[in-house]
Amino acid sequence: MSIASRSSSIGSSLSLLFLLLWSSCEGRDSELSYVTCGSLVKLFNTRHNVRLHSHDVKYGSGSGQQSVTGVENADDANSYWQIRGKPNNPCLRGAPIKCGQAIRITHMKTGRNLHTHHFSSPLSNNQEVSAFGENGEGDNLDVWTVQCEGIHWERDEAVRFKHVGTDVFLSVTGEQYGHPIRGQREVHGMSSPNQHNWWRTMEGVFIQPSQEPLRHDEL
């Protein structure tokens, strides 16, 4: 084989290798553009510029359960939530969450689930939203569906969370608490979709799709 022919063959091989690697990276980028089961995220209300937050502070009225608020501070570790499957129907760790899928949203620090029920919220008189359960296990009022366009929940997409049990949307309308959580915003459920109930993922750890067997990857 001549030097020219050998160079041409090597060039073709390198080009093919580059295309294969590029295709692999493109596929991985596409997978990672979605919010996946098991991901640990901060959820940002796009109308009021606050992150969904909780802490071991109970409501002084209503249910008396752990309060859920909105905070402006982007660095607060109490604003991380894990995306999980609903009770008795776990999702595959790393699998993209589908639009319309039923999920639980679990507070990382306290292990309680985002929850709502027929109590009035303390400031706006909408429906109270709390954090409920122990070690990630609560009840059927911990389940929400992801309302989004397309097939899967995309990381840079604004979505709504609709409560399965009571049909309200996770919302913020700007009311602020006083002591002991001064300046934090009330989070509540509203009966209709509107500008106050759009949420987008911000900081977090997004779990990659796993190749491991299902028994190791359920959440």
Handedness of CA 34, 159, 142, 205 (dihedral sign): positive
3-state secondary structure of 42: strand
Q: Where are the domains of the chain?
A: 36-205
- Residue type for position 130: S
* pLDDT at residue 56, as a whole number: 93
Q: How many CB atoms lie within 10 A of CB 15?
A: 10
State the pLDDT at residue 211: 45
What is the reported pLDDT for 86? Answer: 92
pLDDT at residue 179, as a whole number: 86
Q: What residue type is 121 in one-letter code?
A: S
Question: CA–CA distance from 88 to each of 8, 102, 171, 207, 210 (Å)?
Answer: 58, 12, 27, 21, 21
Report CA 103 to chain centroid distance, whole Å: 9
> According to the model, what pLDDT value does residue 4 have?
41
Looking at residue 98, the DSSP 8-state letter turns out to be B
pLDDT at 31: 55
Strand pairing report for 66-71 and 127-132: antiparallel
d(CA 149, CA 178): 37
Q: Print pLDDT tens along the chain (219 aa).
A: 443 444 444 344 434 333 333 333 333 444 579 999 999 999 999 999 999 999 999 999 999 999 999 999 999 999 999 999 998 888 999 999 999 999 999 999 999 999 999 999 999 999 999 999 999 999 999 999 999 999 999 999 999 999 999 999 999 999 999 988 999 999 999 999 999 999 999 999 999 876 443 333 345
96, amino acid identity: P
Strand positions, DSSP E, the chain: 40-45, 50-58, 66-71, 81-85, 102-107, 113-120, 127-132, 144-147, 160-163, 169-176, 185-190, 199-205
pLDDT at 10: 38
Cα 164 from Cα 144, distance rounded (Å)? 5
β-strand 127-132 against 185-190: which pairing, if any?
antiparallel
Question: How is 138-167 classified by DSSP, letter by letter?
Answer: --GGG-EEEE-SSSB-BTTS-BEEEETTT-
Residues 66 and 57: their CA atoms lie apart, in Å, by 6
CATH topology assigned to domain 36-205:
Trefoil (Acidic Fibroblast Growth Factor, subunit A) (2.80.10)
Contact predicate 91/103, CB 8 Å: yes
